[in-house]
A and B are shown apart, each in its own frame.
Chain A
């Protein structure tokens, strides 16, 4: 028989230990408070007194938080114990009813008992779940975070929203396979991180960028995850990534090999998804929900980033566009920013020479791939292939439209 998971005894033991720790902190702060000899004078004594006054309130708060966490765990242990007993009792009743049905398939009473005991088991499961949610909320508050509502009775987790700010899709080693180093292998999800993904798309568009990513994103066989090197103030920082966002960047033309019915969603995460998780880990989820391309480009590449723009959000000048052509000709990476508002439907040309009408997405970043001698600009939308704004792939925007709409360009060169 499989019961409800968790050990109330062990949780109770941890609770007791936390209470002891809280007492130890109380004692330490009491000792520190008392160690202020009247005869001690001078700069060192003043510094000590100041440090004590500065530190003691934190120590008091720490003790209170540890004590609160201990109390929470104690209550949770009691609730879990009660739920486990109820579940076990229901399970015994269920087994008894099942045996009765086996003896006499027409035993309606036993049939009803099966339903009743199942409901009782689900009820116990729900109470355990609710106790866990309340405990988690209280522990989060004790740790200085924000409480979340406890969940209602919901044994199947129907309708539960996952915390979308936490990546929860396990990575596999094929995210960086040979088929993944193509600019079309980035398809933005429902995170507003175009300003970041465009840098990854621009890297994937060049051989130098591919090599850069191969150096900075490495699979760890032993730990089943990726080490992603990002750059904080220019210094490389290795971040271990074992989960990516379910709603993050994916490869539009590949699947993850998982069957939908067994939890696979048929979508393979993009290399850009690894950057999403790594940057979220170091800077928080809010950072990746909209931002300035230069910030993301610096973090991803660690190189000097140049930005040219028109502060009034008007389009770039001819000379500015030409300078971007030079950057790209040198193997560099360029990201360009779209208008802040309005409805912008324009005609563009695809690599096959076919003209088509597309929508330019407002407050959006695009990766620039080439600049023609006449100022026409080739670019890609990080929304990826088949997207509803432009159909995906590379498209050529006339110099006039670039000059009318795109107001900021951000560039670097990882091959320098």
Chain B
């Protein structure tokens, strides 16, 4: 019987560890994602337009303020997005669409 208790305790500890890890990842570390300028992206349940310049990005529908790398904005009650990087996608300057790759990280707060 004590072996079974040990197994149950181990399972409970495992579940607790997974929950704690999930809360740390989603709540503190954040989940990275890349969206492209000139598109309508969907991140953590919110859809917004992505309009970028060389060093700023607007998440249209969320805020009209241009965001720089390091800026954060709350897109819904359970999600804050941070701009991690704005990188040229390498397309020719004459090309329309996907001019910049925007690295974002979302988390709960």
| A and B: bona fide binding partners | yes
Return the contact of B96 from the options A115, A345, A365 (Cβ within 8 A): A365
* CA gap between A365 and B95 in the complex, in Å: 9
* CA gap between A387 and B47 in the complex, in Å: 9
Cβ of A130 within 8 Å of any chain B Cβ, yes or no, is: no
A-B contact count (CB 8 A): 114
A236 to B: closest C-beta gap in Å: 25
Write the chain B residue with the least CB distance to A384. B40
A192 and B39 contacting across the interface, CB-CB below 8 Å: yes
Return the contact of A337 from the options B41, B51, B96 (Cβ within 8 A): B96
Majority-rule SS of A interface residues: loop
B49 and A343 contacting across the interface, CB-CB below 8 Å: no
Cβ of A361 within 8 Å of any chain B Cβ, yes or no, is: yes
Which residues in window 23-59 of B have CB below 8 A to A? Answer: 35-42, 47-49, 51-54, 58
Interface string of A373-385 (1 = CB under 8 A from B): 0000000000100
Interface string of B54-83 (1 = CB under 8 A from A): 100010111010100000000000000000
Q: Which residues of B contact A183 (CB under 8 A)?
A: none
Q: Which residues of A contact B7 (CB under 8 A)?
A: 112
Cβ of A329 within 8 Å of any chain B Cβ, yes or no, is: no
Write the chain A residue with the least CB distance to B53. A341
A274 to B: closest C-beta gap in Å: 18
B81 to A: closest C-beta gap in Å: 14
B60 and A290 contacting across the interface, CB-CB below 8 Å: no
Number of B residues, CB within 8 Å of A: 35
A312 to B: closest C-beta gap in Å: 11
Cβ of A359 within 8 Å of any chain B Cβ, yes or no, is: yes
A194 and B38 contacting across the interface, CB-CB below 8 Å: yes
Cβ of A322 within 8 Å of any chain B Cβ, yes or no, is: no
Cβ of A233 within 8 Å of any chain B Cβ, yes or no, is: no
A361 and B49 contacting across the interface, CB-CB below 8 Å: yes
A192 and B38 contacting across the interface, CB-CB below 8 Å: yes
Q: Which residues of B contact A293 (CB under 8 A)?
A: 96
A291 and B4 contacting across the interface, CB-CB below 8 Å: no
B4 and A192 contacting across the interface, CB-CB below 8 Å: no
Write the chain B residue with the least CB distance to A341. B53
Interface string of A320-364 (1 = CB under 8 A from B): 000000000000000001101111010000000000000101111
Cβ of A182 within 8 Å of any chain B Cβ, yes or no, is: no
B36 and A289 contacting across the interface, CB-CB below 8 Å: yes
B27 to A: closest C-beta gap in Å: 17
Q: Which residues of A contact B40 (CB under 8 A)?
A: 187-190, 383, 387-388
B97 to A: closest C-beta gap in Å: 4
Number of A residues, CB within 8 Å of B: 37
* CA gap between A247 and B41 in the complex, in Å: 9
A190 and B97 contacting across the interface, CB-CB below 8 Å: no
Q: Which residues of B contact A337 (CB under 8 A)?
A: 96
Return the contact of A292 from the options B54, B66, B95, B99 (Cβ within 8 A): B95
* CA gap between A189 and B54 in the complex, in Å: 22
B96 and A194 contacting across the interface, CB-CB below 8 Å: yes
A383 and B96 contacting across the interface, CB-CB below 8 Å: no
Q: Which residues of B contact A383 (CB under 8 A)?
A: 40, 49
Cβ of A108 within 8 Å of any chain B Cβ, yes or no, is: yes
Cβ of B20 within 8 Å of any chain A Cβ, yes or no, is: no
Residue of B4, B8, B62, B94 with most chain A CB atoms under a 10 A cut-off = B94
Q: Which residues of B contact A387 (CB under 8 A)?
A: 40, 49, 61
Write the chain B residue with the least CB distance to A189. B40
B53 and A190 contacting across the interface, CB-CB below 8 Å: no
Cβ of A263 within 8 Å of any chain B Cβ, yes or no, is: no
Write the chain A residue with the least CB distance to B95. A290
Cβ of B12 within 8 Å of any chain A Cβ, yes or no, is: no
Q: A108-B4, A190-B39, A190-B42 are in contact. Are A195 and B95 (CB under 8 A)?
A: yes
Q: Which residues of B contact A109 (CB under 8 A)?
A: 4
If A187-B40, A291-B95, A389-B51 are given as contacts, then 8 extra A-B residue pairs at C-beta distance below 8 Å, sorted by A number, are A109-B4, A192-B97, A192-B99, A343-B53, A362-B99, A363-B96, A365-B96, A388-B48
